[in-house]
Structures are given as structure tokens and as C-alpha cells.
Structure 1
Amino acid sequence: MRKASPELEEFIDGLIRRAAAKHYHPTIFIDMRQKYGTVSAISRLVRSGDLQSGFTRLRRLELLDWTIEAAVERFPNEFNVNDRECAAFRLRQARQEDRNA
């Protein structure tokens, strides 16, 4: 299990606080984070071919910049190239759709 930097951990804690303030509690991610560690949990989710419900929910709550994909974008050295590409693709798609809406 690769250890996340204190900055990444702080960012993720902020994501959870912001989501909770809008009445969303990402329990599946929180459980995965405890089980696998922050970096591994994020990697598993961003590499999944399925659009994660948490991403969709945070986007609807106008917290796109606080998704785990945004964490990968913000802390690229903590993730491998595949994680970075998957996260970038999902964010690019969402931002484009938001601009076109």
C-alpha cells in the first residue's frame, strides 16, 4: 500500500467535509480508503470503466474540483500514468458537457 502525501490526505479530507456539508456522504469511498489506503482507493475507482456515482453526485453538487479525479489531476506524482489518463478523460468529458449545457 503506497502512502499518500499529507497534502493529498488533506485534500481528500476536504472533499469529504465539503460533500458532507451538502448532505452527501461518500461511504463507499471512505470504506475503500480505510481498507486500501487513499492512493489505492482512488486508483481503483478512477481506473474503473464505470462512471462512479460519487463523481456524478459531486458534479451535481458543483464540487467537480473536489472529486477524486481532481485529486489525481492536482497531485499527479502520486499516481501512475494510467490513473492520470483516466482521471483526465473523465474530467475533460464533464467539463465539456458543462460548457455545452
Structure 2
Amino acid sequence: MGRALAGAAVAAAVAVTTLTGCSFGIEEAVCGDGEYPVLAVDSGGSDCVPDGEEPARGWARYPEGKVPEKIGDKWDTYWSTRTLDEKGEIIELPEGG
């Protein structure tokens, strides 16, 4: 009887998580498998590029050691107010980026 009750509790928790979108701390990756993140040059914005491909014109790789991996991580937050200029220098985004 105890196992059935425990199983029902787990099933209920899974149902609540599914219906409410609660993630219990699961972090979402910035890009999917086989991709890497890039940022817009002189503008706000980011995208993902397939591994082995270079970013399109107007996009750049993040500087080494400053690449966001998870949404909301240290570097994702950092780049929300900054970008790179055409020379590869880090610049602040204008208000409203």
C-alpha cells in the first residue's frame, strides 16, 4: 500500500510540473546540441550557428571565456547590456539595445 501511495505522489508531482511549467531548477541551454552561440555586432541580439560554420556577416563569436552557456547565467546576463563593435571591442548597448 505504501508503494502505491508513493507512486501516486510522484505521478502527481510530475503532472503538476508538466501543467505549471515549473522546472525544479533545470537550466535551459542557450543553444542546442551541435550549435554554438553568436551575438549581433553593434546591436543587441544573439543566435545559434551550427558547429563547423562561421557566423554570418553582422554576427560574431563571443570572446573566449565569455560565452553564455545557460539562459540567465553570468555571461548571458553580462551580454544583455553589451555587444561587440566591428573591431571586436566590447561596447555598452544603447538604452533599449
| TM-score of the two chains, using structure 1 as the length reference | 0.29
Structure with more contact order per residue of length (Cα contacts < 8 Å, sep ≥ 6) = 1
Say which structure is richer in helix: 1
Larger radius of gyration: 2
